Amino acid sequence: MTLFQIHDLTVRVPGRTLLDNLTLDLPAGRVIGLIGHNGSGKSTLLKVLARQMPARIEGTVLFDGRPLSDLRGRDLARRLAVLPQTTPPAEGMTLAELVALGRYPWHGALGRPGPADHDAIAAALRECGVAALADRLVDTLSGGERQRGWLAMLVAQAAGTLLLDEPISALDIAHQVEVLSLVRRMCHDQGRSAVIVLHEVNMAARFCDHVVALRGGRLALQGSPADLMRAPALTQIYGLPMQVLTRDDGLPVAIPA
């Protein structure tokens, strides 16, 4: 099963080529980590998949076998949920209201929210462990709580695919593990797919089933975390000598050599 089929994808902005003739298949039902150095094009690729790239795109992207551009806005939002890199301030909004916004693709601007919507909202709050915070203002939550709140909005959207752009970049290490564990559990328990842009290669290796590495807008490597965690592969991706150590429990850890 293929989630995204990307063929000959090129994205240019004046003066730079962000993605260069990229051809790639992303498998469904997996947690896919998108890694690479700064400016490698990983966020650009995620924006293209989320259909939020303002620049012109060359090449084709199929989502579930259909051209991505064919889907109408709300149809796409029912299948694909997106979390941008920086979440905006939600002025004056409670967490429950934020999560309820995730139902917009289902009831639209005018439709009345039905029992199905309320159930989805309650389930999302529970699944992300933020039910107790439902009446708090979003802007008063801590970083980790807020990020779980936004994830709950994505869950309420009931989309089969999640696109997350560096969801842990503003969190401390404990909250990083907490959020990524949540994403992994959400995917494995409910059969969702996720594409996550990650900076930290060790986090990617630990929480992802499948890793795609970009370098200079081209594909550098794709495969399992085990394929990634080899010194030559990492050195090629980051352009820096890397070393892979083995923890006591057998998990590999990469550090700059």
Binding site for another protein (CB under 8 A): 50-52, 54, 72-78, 80-84, 87-88, 90-94, 97, 101-102, 104-105, 108-110, 137, 139-140, 157
Residue 137 CB, shortest distance to another protein, in Å, is 7
Residue 31 CB, shortest distance to another protein, in Å, is 19
Residue 35 CB, shortest distance to another protein, in Å, is 22
- Nearest to another protein of 71, 177 (CB atom): 71
Tell me how long the chain is. Answer: 257
- Nearest to another protein of 28, 137 (CB atom): 137
- Nearest to another protein of 150, 207 (CB atom): 150
- Nearest to another protein of 159, 254 (CB atom): 159
- Nearest to another protein of 153, 233 (CB atom): 153
- The pair of structure tokens assigned to 182 is 């949540």
Residue 198 CB, shortest distance to another protein, in Å, is 19
What is the rounded CA–CA span in Å between residue 113 and residue 193?
26
Please give the torsion angle defined by the CA atoms of residues 104, 106, 112 and 117, in that order, rounded to the nearest 10 degrees: -90
- Nearest to another protein of 161, 222 (CB atom): 161
What is the rounded CA–CA span in Å between residue 81 and residue 72?
14
- Cross-strand pairs, 244: 254
By DSSP bridging, strand 57-63 and strand 66-67 are antiparallel
Residue 199 CB, shortest distance to another protein, in Å, is 18
Strand order in the sheet with 218-223: 80-83, 161-165, 193-197, 31-36, 210-215, 218-223
Residue 253 CB, shortest distance to another protein, in Å, is 33
H-type helices in the chain, by residue range? 42-49, 73-79, 95-101, 104-107, 115-127, 143-156, 173-190, 201-207, 225-228, 231-238
